[in-house]
């Protein structure tokens, strides 16, 4: 079973700063890696799929990169609404199961 | 615009079966190659995938829950459902239903979630 590890657990930054979030898989997941944003009391929202493709309506300040076992979500310049928890997620080939990482909280410094 | 809405009891007794339904509106659950899933989130914790179902009825479950989970689809009602048996306090969580994009294997549309508490 593939395990996803996210770092750091918490990232304290100021609006306007650049955020770099890491997701590492215990074995290769090719490019089947997605990123989600979750705000308190809300359902998660898909940001990035296939490691680097922005979902519909996602601002260009969000970008994803990586392949294999190491992935990065970058927020180029934090807006006030970006302070939230971010999860990565992968789907293994066989068995066809999904796994989420433990999350990274981006909070206001 | 496609929307998903979870429904079911908010309180379930220990050892009983948790039953939730996700109603899909704004589109047909069987008209495309999308598939559907359930995810849960215990209070203050992260996301856990429970299982997924194709409109054809094929299912995939989280190995840690597989012995207790059943996901089914009712195309006539445009719904899919979750049953989790022998629940304990550890099953207390917000339960989300979501659509899975078949080409990207990502959950692209989510319901708002429903809180289920397991308590006597």
Tens-binned pLDDT, residue by residue, of chain A (109 aa): 899 999 999 999 999 999 999 999 999 888 889 999 999 999 999 999 999 999 999 999 999 999 999 999 999 999 999 999 999 999 987 777 999 999 999 999 9
Is the Cβ–Cβ distance between A14 and A78 less than 8 Å?
yes
Instruction: List phi, psi (to 5°) of B24.
Output: -100, 125
User: Greatest CA separation found in chain A?
Assistant: 42
**Contact between A98 and B63 using a beta-carbon 8 Å cutoff:** no
| Interface test mutation site (partner A, options B104, B113, B114, max chain A beta carbons within 10 A) | B104
**Reduced to 3 DSSP states, what percent helix, strand and coil does chain A have, rounded to the nearest 5?**
5, 50, 45
Structure tokens at A98: 């999904």
Instruction: List phi, psi (to 5°) of B27.
Output: 175, 165
* pLDDT value at B31 more than 70: no
Structure tokens at B100: 């899975």
Res B32: pLDDT:
66
Percent of chain B's residues with pLDDT above 70: 98
A 10 A CB-CB count for B9 gives 13
Q: How far apart are the C-alpha atoms of A51 and A63, rounded to whole Å?
A: 9
Is the Cβ–Cβ distance between B54 and B71 less than 8 Å?
no
Res B56: pLDDT:
76
Structure tokens at B49: 């995938």
Closest CA in chain A for residue B94: A43
């Amino acid at each position: 079973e593939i395990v996803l590890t996210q770092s750091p657990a918490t990232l304290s930054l100021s609006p306007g700063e650049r955020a770099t979030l890491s997701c590492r898989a215990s074995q290769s997941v090719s490019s089947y890696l997605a990123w989600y944003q979750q705000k308190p009391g809300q359902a998660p929202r898909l940001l990035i799929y296939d490691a680097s493709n922005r979902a519909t309506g996602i601002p260009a300040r969000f970008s994803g990169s990586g392949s294999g076992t190491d992935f990065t979500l970058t927020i180029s310049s934090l807006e006030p609404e970006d302070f939230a928890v971010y999860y990565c997620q992968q789907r293994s080939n066989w068995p066809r199961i999904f796994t989420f990482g433990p999350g990274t909280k981006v909070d206001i410094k | 615009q496609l929307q998903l809405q979870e429904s079911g009891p908010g309180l379930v007794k220990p050892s009983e079966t948790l039953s939730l339904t996700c109603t899909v509106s704004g589109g047909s659950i069987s008209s495309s190659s999308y598939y559907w899933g359930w995810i849960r989130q215990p209070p203050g914790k992260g996301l856990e995938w429970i299982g997924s179902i194709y409109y054809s009825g094929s299912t995939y479950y989280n190995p840690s829950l597989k012995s207790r989970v059943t996901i089914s689809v009712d195309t006539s009602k445009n719904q899919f459902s979750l049953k989790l048996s022998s629940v304990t306090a550890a099953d207390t969580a917000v339960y989300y239903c979501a659509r899975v994009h078949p080409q990207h294997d990502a959950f692209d549309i989510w319901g708002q979630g429903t809180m289920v508490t397991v308590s006597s």
